[in-house]
Structure 1
Amino acid sequence: MWPNQRIGPIWHQLFSELCYMRLLLTSTLMAGVFIPLSAAWGQSVSTDAMGDLLVDQAQSTASETSTNTATDVGAAATTVTALPQLRGRIQYPVGPVAPVTPANQAVTPVQPLQGPGRDGDDQSDAYEAQGLKLGTFVLYPSISFTIEATDNIDDVSVGVNGQSGTTELELRAESDWSRHALSVTTRLGMTGYNEPNRKPDTEQFIDGSLELDLADQSKLTLTGSAQQEREAANSVELVASGGTAEIQSTFSTGAVLDQGAGIFRFQLRGAMAAESYEEDSTRDFQTFTFGGRTGFALTDQVTPFVDLEMSRKVYRQSTNTQNGDSLRGSIGLEVNNRETLSGEASIGLISWRPKISGQEGDSMLFADASLTWSPNALWSLTGGLETDLTSSSTGATSVATYTASFSASYAVRDNLDLGASTTLSREVYNGIGRRDSVFDGTLSAEYSFNRYSQLIASVGHERRNSTQIGSEYSENKAGLTLKFQR
């Protein structure tokens, strides 16, 4: 995965970046403020107040939504890889088809299992964030400083070396209610470039989820998110449109109603998503999705189901040839055993029908899956399959994307975790004969000095092979993150 001739230059770049004081000057000053605050927080926690401040990390993790960005090496190392979400609980992704990597996936990964012995383990709790109690909420603030070196900073066929530094602030709020649950995460990041010399990039992100326990076997979940960042320069849709990378804003909101009736399970869900671009409104669009599911509890852990979902894609420019409707139907099996295995798998048919008369539509069979297995307290293995069919600006009638993901994490010690992840996708552009394959692999290590500070290192390789000349690229990268949390 790492060619021998590139290992030396990459680590030389990373070492040079560590020593480059101009890039780290801001990070050092901010760390100088944050470390004393962390120490003060730790000293202020008395024995009497410890019970109020200690929050079950498993509960907070289960309600947290993660979003990986190209510069967020720390997030990529801790969440390992973004896997397809359980369809019944999905936060619908928005945006045109882009290279399927952790940096471009907008779906939420399956939450890791705690496994036997993990929940309530006093030794592992010694390295978990406690948070700050504020009324009926617990706040989890953090700040991280990341440096990254790469031999292809823009992921293009003829790339250039690059080094960057990112400072990221995050605040997560979790409710401490007996019945309902509210979780809100907000993140602000800035990335500066040492090489090549270019303007800094910023990212703003906020995500929230509200779970309402309406009655016995009845639950309503409301979600919403907003994000603003610069789009990936190597996006297939961007290259096809002939434009330049712009500031991209995305917004989504959704609702899921789950209702039980004896052994039967019913679900209704709907979502709306919008995407806009700063300088080209003709690329702005909205998607509207409505779906439902019916299942029955074969056992207390196994539930077969039938799922149906419809969506409509509408561009701001009414005559846009990418407007259309999608219909997706599947049958599957959901497994829920939080001690060892959790997730679902399904097979079905998906079709795309454009709104412009005379255009051809496409249909295909698909298989989806998202499973997490935790055989013991040390290992957590996750795997997923995801299939999508949508319109494209490349001249194809549609583009079909098949994605397989796998990740593994291993707790070497209470304060040391190793992770590995890989994502492989196949993109088929119907009508023009283009076929792309995208691979992304990452190795990571996370070391906790104490509950307030962590050091995260990662190395990775990404590659795109394409039948279209000039669309291929490969990238090797290495990153280091220092994170402080409360």
Structure 2
Amino acid sequence: MPHTRFTLLCFAALGALAAACGQPQAQEAQAAREHATVALRRSIDDTPSVQASVAAPDDTVAAPPSGAGTTGFVAEGTRRKPQRAAQAARPVQPAGRVRPEPKLNRRAFDDTINAVTARSSQLRAARLQAWGDTPVEPTEPFDPLGIRAGSFLLKPWFESGIGYDTNPLAANTNPKPSLYQQFASGLSAQSDWSRHALAADIRGSYTQYDTVSGNNRPEVDAILRGRIDVSDRTRYALEGHFQLTTESAGNPDAPTDVVRPPPIVTTGGSVGFAHRWNRLDVAAAAGLDHVVYENGELLNGETLDRSDRNYDQPSVRLRTGYELRPGVTPFVAAEFDSREFANEIDSSGYQRASTGMEIRAGTSFELSRLLTGEASLGWIARNYVDPRLADISGLLVDASLVWVASGLTTVRFTAVTTINETSFEDTTGVLERILALRIDHAFRRWLIGTIRLGWEFDDYGQSGRRDNRFVVGAQASVKLARELWLTGEVRQETLDSNEPVNDYTANIMMVGLRLQR
């Protein structure tokens, strides 16, 4: 109850402050209008012809008699031409008046609210860019046109590919190569309403190996976003997301004696609010994620219980930015969350409940459309309830930049820092850092070449394990038509650990076909 009264008092104080600030501006506007009225009366003669010229829309009338005022008229040879009454009554700018409020940068405003509500989906997208299959970027004249469905534009697509992996199980010795097939499909939908917005992005894939069926993996990622425009400067945003994935081979947490990799299901959402005062953007969001580690089927027919890894993660995110100039908006952002496990004590006897914090400062870029995105530095930390588990903290580096080096070449840079859960031995968690560089070059409008470099560093805390993961890849995309693209990719994935028994190298080749509308 005291918190409610305090909030109401704060809003009342803000309202009184806004009214007090608006009263002098109203008085100033009234004085300006009176001054303009007097000037208008002095500028015209009382003859019927001049009075008619002020009231009529036609400007071709005789000049006023000699000696009449000239305010509100412009010279035209030996004749004078009266301006329209609306132009003559323009308020005079008093000395020292505050400059008018700058025009709203809608793109920057949208970026602000998207950044505060879509943090988890941005992290997934960054990891996909570094380690997943390289997405093909649309280019004119091969952009998909989509399908119009009422006030929505739908863009469905389907991909099918065949590949070869020299080490799909990420084995240190005696790797077992295998052919594989990958099927993927998705749908994006975007409203084109004059106010408010609703967008959806749904994609899923299935990878099937010929000789190592125990490594078959499904993937699903779905995001639904909505925006409510209360006014030009006040917006609400809502997001819901669903993700189904598995722990990849080579991950210390991935079980090795199961029939197939057990899935991990994440469901959640967030509600956000953003408002702009002049050049100042303020946004806040509250979110909740529910993470479930499904049980696995062991090779001996028994069930692997992983329920002790299930947890809920409520979070609060804040972000404030000030637009110094169009396209440059420095900001500060903070996120606070807690992870509350379904089982208070896990199978190893530890309490893994924890609280997390991220604080960072940076700036967004939109410089002549040549450099867009944002970059920030800060600090990330996670504190655990169990005193036997060491806390984790470190430098936070985040970036998502796109540089249009020329009309043919585009460079993308991504940096991500996160702290993820792990069941590896007695380790508290894993601090992950990801850096990714991607270069796209158009040899022709229908032929796009891509080079991809990625690095990930995994720090497993007090266990002493440190892993460096590298990916180097190249891709060619042949766009036969808007609806049909061909792709080919080769890449090498390497794990270099301070425990050499975990090292591995995998060479992957794939050709695919993409259908879209």
Query: Aligning the two structures, in what range does the TM-score lie when normalised by the shorter sequence?
Result: 0.7 to 0.9
**Mapping 1:386-425, distance limit 5 Å:** 386-394=416-424, 395-425=426-456
TM-fit CA distance, 1:237 = 2.4
Match for residue 234 of structure 1 among 235, 250, 253 = 250
Is 2:409 the counterpart of 1:379?
yes
RMSD: 3.3
1:336 maps to which of 337, 358, 366: 366
Task: Please give the residue correspondences for 1:296-335 in structure 2 after superposition, counting only pairs within 5 Å.
Answer: 296-320=322-346, 321-335=351-365
Identity %: 22
**CA shift for structure 1 position 378:** 1.6
Q: Report 1:5-24 matches (<5 A).
A: none
Q: Which has the higher contact order (CA 8 A, sep 6+)?
A: 1
Q: Report the alpha carbon displacement of residue 136 of structure 1 after superposing the two structures with TM.
A: 1.1
**Counterparts in 2 of 1:187 and 1:425: CA distance versus 1, 3 Å:** closer
Q: Distance in 2 between matches of 1:360 and 1:392?
A: 13
2:285 corresponds in structure 1 to 269
- Could you tell me which residue of structure 1 aligns to residue 314 of structure 2? 288
Once residues 393 and 413 of structure 2 are traced to their aligned partners in structure 1, the CA distance between those partners, rounded to angstroms, is: 25
* 1:474 corresponds to which of 493, 505, 509: 505
Q: Secondary structure of the residue that 2:501 maps to in structure 1?
A: coil
**Which residue does 2:223 correspond to in 1?**
207
- Structure 1 match to 2:491: 460
Instruction: Name which of 362, 366, 375 aligns with 1:345.
Output: 375
| Further displaced range: 346-355 or 396-405 | 396-405
> How many pairs are equivalent?
389
C-alpha change, 1:366 and 1:248, in structure 2 (3 Å) is closer
What TM-score results when the alignment is normalised by the length of structure 2?
A: 0.68
Q: Partner of 1:92 in structure 2?
A: 120
* Aligned residues of 1:324 and 1:391 also touching (Cα < 8 A): no
Q: CA deviation at 1:460?
A: 0.4
Shift of 1:434: 1.4
1-structure distance, mates of 2:369, 2:122? 33
Identify if the C-alpha distance between structure 1 residues 182 and 331 changes in structure 2 by more than 3 Å, giving closer, same or farther. Answer: same
Larger radius of gyration: 2
Q: Which moved more, 1:402-411 or 1:210-219?
A: 210-219
Name the amino acid aligned to 1:151: T
Which piece of structure 1 moves more, 252-261 or 471-480? 252-261
- After superposition, the Cα gap between the structure-2 partners of 1:443 and 1:285, relative to the gap in structure 1 and judged at 3 Å, is same
Per-residue deviation, 1:351: 1.7
With over 3 angstroms needed to count, the CA separation of the structure-2 counterparts of 1:304 and 1:104, relative to structure 1, is: same
Q: Secondary structure at the match of 2:253?
A: helix
Structure 2 vs 1, CA of residues 214 and 268 (structure 1 numbering), >3 Å: closer, same or farther?
A: same
- Structure 1 gaps of 5+ residues are 1-84, 119-123
Equivalent AA in structure 1 for residue 481 of structure 2: N
Tell me, in whole angstroms, the C-alpha distance in 1 between the residues paired with 2:441 and 2:207: 30
Deviations 1:200-252 (A, max 9, x none): 64444422222222212223222222133443233222359999731222223
Post-superposition shift, 1:260?
A: 0.8
Give TM-score scaled by structure 1 length.
0.72
SS in 2 for 1:360: coil
Task: Answer yes or no: is the 8 Å Cα contact 2:390–2:462 preserved in 1.
Answer: no
Q: Secondary structure at the match of 2:308?
A: helix
Change (3 A) 1:101 1:173: closer
- C-alpha deviation, 1:403, in angstroms: 1.7
Give the counterpart letter for 1:138 in structure 2.
L
Match of 1:63 in 2: none
The answer as to 2:191 corresponding to 1:175 is yes
Task: Report deviation, 1:192.
Answer: 3.1
Describe the SS at the equivalent of 1:195.
coil
Which residues in structure 2 correspond to 1:187-266 (within 5 Å)? 187-197=203-213, 201-238=217-254, 245-266=261-282
CA shift digits 1:166-211 (9 cap, x unpaired): 2233222222222222222333434333233558644444222222
Could you say which residue in structure 1 is the equivalent of 2:161?
A: 146
Question: Given residue 372 of structure 1, which amino acid in structure 2 is its aligned partner?
Answer: V
Residue 406 of structure 2 aligns with an amino acid whose one-letter code is N
Gaps of 5+ in 2: 1-112, 296-305
Superposed displacement of residue 381, structure 1: 0.9
Describe the shift of the 1:426–1:204 C-alpha distance in structure 2 as closer, same or farther (beyond 3 A).
closer
For the residues of structure 1 that align with 2:197 and 2:179, how far apart are their CA atoms?
Answer: 41
1:236 partner SS = coil
In 2 relative to 1, CA 262–150 (structure 1 residues): closer, same or farther, beyond 3 Å? same
- Partners in 2 of 1:445 and 1:483 — Cα distance? 13
The Cα of 1:476 is off from its aligned counterpart by: 0.4
Aligned counterpart, 1:3: none
In structure 1, distance between residues paired with 2:256 and 2:429: 14
Between 301-310 and 195-204, the greater mean CA deviation after superposition: 195-204
Q: How far has the Cα of 1:374 moved from its partner?
A: 1.1
What's the CA shift string for 1:350-400, capped at 9, x where partnerless?
221002245332332333222111133322111122222345322234432
Cα gap change, 1:358 to 1:232, in 2 (>3 Å) = closer
Query: Do 1:322 and 1:393's aligned partners in 2 also have CA atoms closer than 8 Å?
Result: no
Once the 2 structures are TM-superposed, how far is the Cα of residue 276 of structure 1 from its aligned partner?
Answer: 1.2
Secondary structure of 1:282's aligned partner: helix
Deviation at 1:344, TM superposition (A): 1.8
Is the contact between residue 441 and residue 461 of structure 1 (CA under 8 Å) also seen in structure 2?
yes
Amino acid paired to 1:207 = I
Q: What SS is found at the alignment partner of 2:502?
A: coil
